[in-house]
Amino acid sequence: MSRPTGLLRAGHQLQLLEGSAEFFPALAAAMDAARHEIWLESYIFDFTGTGAGVAQALERAALRGLQVRVLVDGFGSEIPPLPWRERLARAGVQWQVYEPLGSRLRLAWPGSWRRLHRKLCVVDGVLAFCGGINILDDLHDPHHGVLPAPRLDFCVQVRGPLVADIAQAMHQLWLRQPGVHGFQRQALAEAWLPQPAEGRPALSAARPMPGSVRAALLLRDNLRHRAGIERAYLRAIGRAREEVLIANAYFLPGRRLRLALERAAQRGVQVRLLLQGRYEYFMQYYASRPVYASLLRAGVSIHEYAPSFLHAKVAVIDGRWATVGSSNLDPLSLLLAREANLVVEDAVFASALRERLLQVIRIEGEETDPMQYAMRPWRERVLERLGLVVMRLALAVQGKRYL
């Protein structure tokens, strides 16, 4: 039975992890301690550098006889190098590709941009990871090579009732993959019944752990959960009384979200945005800049992060509400991709994330001056408009309107 998402529940132990430098060792340690099964989803799975360490942990687990299932996106992840394909297959790792493209021309087809953008992992049904970090080395980019500084991103390690919800979401998506054969579907469906096999964790009976951390899982898909993540942002921003602090890699909010930020600033809330300052992709980089004008006029402060790529999708509001996940605040994430965010109501967790974001803003952020923005060169304005037109055309091809 599917559980409703978005409901805050107590009894969680959470650990904030920054970058692959913290995430991958925690992930590998969990995999090495696993006794039954590992489920992993990632938009990108890259075997360069420390990404290979995660692959090795999956291989070790499968060789111990565990059920290891990996689902990657057909656009974000290239075919694994042949040596790794052979190693993982020999070990028994089950590897599936979500919506493989076959040909890049398929990107023009309606629905082809509905990608798997979630970054999730569940180990033995008792420990989960949810965030924005791909299986990708902090200092490596598939398109740009070696980075000058680590990519800025976050993930949360989770124990508590939400682990069962994350596991169920991953299980349901796995069962819908064409590469999962009928007998495997039947076996997995039976294994998911409330009475698990002896020695296997009872996922459906996950109990609250000591503590009072309240958290919720927010999913975005094209069926029942089309707007849950955006609605959560809108509610939290609408209730803000002191501070809205958002770090987002690809920031192109629609009218409702943009107005919510502007109204918050106009009623005296300090609204600060930490956004991508380094060029990564033409459309995402240039299409976002035209929205700066109305935000700056409303009193929103915008800081751009340029030492490396900003990949975070996090927010802290009034020092207590926080979210960490895979969803950018742009139409590709909010309208098309499968996403997963955690929402947390806890002053200690929110404070840790807030302090780190403020440190980045203070030391590595470049604040956008409204006067300089208004005087930016005509060439920049032309590229911005072109980027926005390309984004709108891309959405139109997919049958979507947002901007």
Q: Are 186 and 136 contained in the same domain?
A: yes
Does a structural domain hold residue 3?
no
| Residue range 79-99: mean pLDDT, rounded | 96
> Is the pLDDT confidence value at 276 over 80?
yes
| Residue range 33-54: mean pLDDT, rounded | 98
- The residue segments making up the domain with residue 318 are 216-397
pLDDT attached to residue 46: 97
| Residue range 169-187: mean pLDDT, rounded | 78
12 a catalytic residue? no
What residues pair up with 121 in beta bridges, in sequence order? 40, 129
Q: Catalytic residue, from 12, 119, 225, 303: name it.
A: 119
pLDDT in tens, 303-328: 999 999 999 999 999 999 999 999 99
> Is the pLDDT confidence value at 65 over 70?
yes
Do 289 and 400 form a contact (C-beta atoms < 8 A)? no
| Residue range 15-23: mean pLDDT, rounded | 98
| Residue range 242-262: mean pLDDT, rounded | 96
Do 337 and 114 form a contact (C-beta atoms < 8 A)? yes
> Is the pLDDT confidence value at 3 over 80?
no
pLDDT in tens, 202-239: 443 344 445 679 999 999 997 778 899 999 999 999 99
Do 156 and 15 form a contact (C-beta atoms < 8 A)? yes
Q: Catalytic residue, from 138, 153, 318, 330: name it.
A: 318
| Residue range 101-111: mean pLDDT, rounded | 59
Q: Catalytic residue, from 12, 137, 313, 330: name it.
A: 313
SS3 state at 116 = strand
Q: Are 258 and 278 contained in the same domain?
A: yes
Separation of alpha carbons 340 and 229, rounded Å: 8
For residue 289, what are its two tokens?
Answer: 């800049």
119 a catalytic residue? yes
pLDDT in tens, 337-381: 999 999 999 999 999 999 999 999 999 999 999 999 999 999 999
Does a structural domain hold residue 331?
yes
| Domain termination site, one of 181, 212, 243 | 212
Q: Are 331 and 375 contained in the same domain?
A: yes
Q: How distant is the alpha carbon of residue 32 from its chain centre?
A: 24
pLDDT attached to residue 187: 56
313 a catalytic residue? yes
Q: Catalytic residue, from 12, 46, 73, 124: name it.
A: 124
Phi/psi of residue 223, each to 5°? -120, -95
Q: Catalytic residue, from 117, 138, 153, 225: name it.
A: 117
Q: Catalytic residue, from 12, 225, 303, 311: name it.
A: 311
| Domain termination site, one of 212, 245, 273 | 212
Q: What is the DSSP letter of 262?
A: H
Whole-Å CA distances, 211 to 13, 320, 346: 7, 16, 11
pLDDT attached to residue 179: 78
pLDDT attached to residue 182: 52
> Is the pLDDT confidence value at 159 over 70?
yes
Domain count for the chain: 2
Q: Where are the alpha helices (DSSP H) in 292-337?
A: 292-298, 331
